[in-house]
Amino acid sequence: MAISIRDALGLVRLLYAARRAQDPTPDPTSDPLVAIGRELHAALDLAHHEVGSLGHRAAGDRASRALGRLAAEVTMGDDLAHVARVALGRVTAAR
């Protein structure tokens, strides 16, 4: 599961970087991708717990919620929303 979460975090970082390249002036705290990235980072930390442990299950739950938010947030086209949904499926299937 950690690899899937890491990949999703990489996707969020790429999306955030693309937004910043288009408009470098907005306050980073106003971009929902920042909160989604933080949630995925926390999930990644939890994913390193033993499989089946409370921490490991919490990682999957946090990542699932964050990826659901990501799928709703993507504004750069349907293809990227599809990528977020595929990542959500990989994380939830790993549980």
Per domain, the residue ranges of the chain are 2-94
pLDDT given at position 95 = 60
Would the pLDDT of 9 be above 90?
A: yes
For residue 36, give both structure tokens.
Answer: 């989604």
Residue 43 and residue 88: Cα distance in Å, rounded? 13
pTM: 0.77
Q: How many of the other CB atoms lie within 10 Å of CB of 37? A: 21
pLDDT given at position 94 = 64
Over residues 31-60, mean pLDDT: 95
Across all residues in the chain, what is the average pLDDT?
Answer: 86
